[in-house]
């Protein structure tokens, strides 16, 4: 059975840099407060009415395809991972297909939030291994800044997130012992509401009612955006930061070790670990727990904030472009986020 290799990588981040100091002008926060809790110094924000999740994904895809040496007509399948699509429906996959003038190929959208890229990578791997497709374009793109609460009320969430996109072209491996060795996917919905954006939506179930008061319903059960909803912050993302942190520091190392043990390897064998850029403190905890050297872990959350699904491919591109990944090097990707979902992928470059 064929293995899947990353034939090309690309990334795109908007030009607009937003520092912690900029946020301190509109909410009660400070550079010291943000850096102490997250490690973030600045992030990028999209240009309103110009950048979208799809357009940023297109820019990242162009670079990935150029690095892979493939044209739009050669792409067999598209997978697009995001939690911030341009439309509620249709998904961004078909919008990217249209924007890039591709053939009438399949386009799949993945909604696994922070774990979206690795989930999508696992799906693509199955298609390549079975010989169904030869050139898969996988894009992960996020536009968070359009939907954040830029007041003191929303600071715990809003200071964390940034906008950006990453992309890879996946092909059958051409060398022995090259490509994706294994992927590992998990979920636990028991605490789904602890990191969620429940409204506006079509459901106000018992689990959310346990966390917050029920929202007013429309005549057919749908939810209206009302002043009451706005006052309760129900139209903004919600996060119980401490609960997420506690779960993440358990599941991150656990899923990394699962990947290593499945391939009879140990942390010593890793050339580079690229964790989802959720929080620098989480990455540092995982590094310490696995006894990895600093040069074995790549972090760039300091510059871009948390770009959820896009964070792994953005970091992967920067690490590769900076020469931190060499041919034959063992690379581990890992993510944890809303759902909760978590995942890892182990690959030989």
Q: Which residues are catalytic?
A: 114, 276, 306
Nearest CA-CA partner of 211 in 225, 197, 231:
197
Cβ neighbours of 106 (radius 10 Å) = 15
Question: 158 Cβ partners below 8 Å, 6+ apart?
Answer: 23, 27, 148, 149, 150
The Cα angle at residue 336 between residues 333 and 338, in degrees rounded to 5: 145
CA distance 123 to 345: 12
**What Å distances lie between residue 13 and 71, 141, 153, CA to CA?**
22, 10, 27
Judge contact between 262 and 255, C-beta under 8 A.
no
Nearest CA-CA partner of 297 in 285, 305, 306, 309:
285
CA distance 3 to 183: 12
- Beta strands 272-275 and 330-337 are parallel
């Amino acid at each position: 059975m064929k293995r899947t290799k990353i034939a090309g990588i690309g990334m795109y981040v908007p030009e607009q840099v937003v520092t912690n100091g900029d946020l301190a002008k509109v909410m009660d926060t400070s550079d010291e407060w943000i850096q102490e809790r997250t490690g973030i110094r600045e992030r990028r924000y999209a240009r309103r009415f110009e950048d979208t999740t799809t357009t940023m994904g297109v820019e990242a895809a162009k670079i990935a395809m150029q690095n892979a040496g493939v044209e739009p007509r050669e792409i067999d399948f598209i997978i697009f991972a995001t939690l911030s699509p341009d439309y509620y429906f249709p998904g961004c996959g078909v919008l990217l297909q249209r924007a890039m003038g591709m053939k009438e190929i399949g386009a799949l959208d993945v909604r696994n939030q922070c774990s979206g890229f690795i989930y999508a990578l696992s799906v693509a791997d199955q298609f390549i291994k079975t010989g169904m497709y030869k050139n898969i374009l996988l894009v992960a793109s996020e536009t968070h800044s359009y939907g954040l609460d830029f007041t003191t009320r929303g600071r715990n969430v809003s200071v964390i997130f940034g906008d950006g996109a990453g992309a890879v072209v996946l092909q059958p491996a051409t060398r022995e012992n090259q490509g994706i060795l294994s992927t590992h996917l998990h979920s636990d919905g028991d605490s789904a509401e602890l990191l969620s954006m429940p409204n506006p939506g079509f459901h106000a179930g018992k689990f959310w009612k346990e966390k917050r008061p029920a929202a007013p319903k429309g005549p057919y059960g749908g939810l209206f955006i009302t002043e009451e909803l706005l006052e309760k912050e129900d139209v903004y993302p919600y996060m119980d930061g401490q609960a997420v942190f506690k779960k993440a520091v358990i599941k991150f190392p656990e899923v990394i070790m699962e990947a290593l043990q499945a391939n009879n390897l140990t942390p010593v064998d890793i050339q580079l670990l690229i964790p989802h850029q959720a929080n620098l403190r989480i990455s540092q905890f995982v590094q310490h727990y696995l006894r990895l050297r600093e040069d074995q872990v790549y972090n760039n959350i300091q510059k871009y904030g948390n770009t959820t699904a896009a964070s792994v491919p953005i970091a992967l591109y920067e690490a590769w472009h900076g020469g931190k990944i060499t041919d034959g090097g063992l690379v581990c990707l890992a993510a944890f986020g809303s759902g909760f979902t978590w995942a890892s992928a182990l690959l030989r470059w």
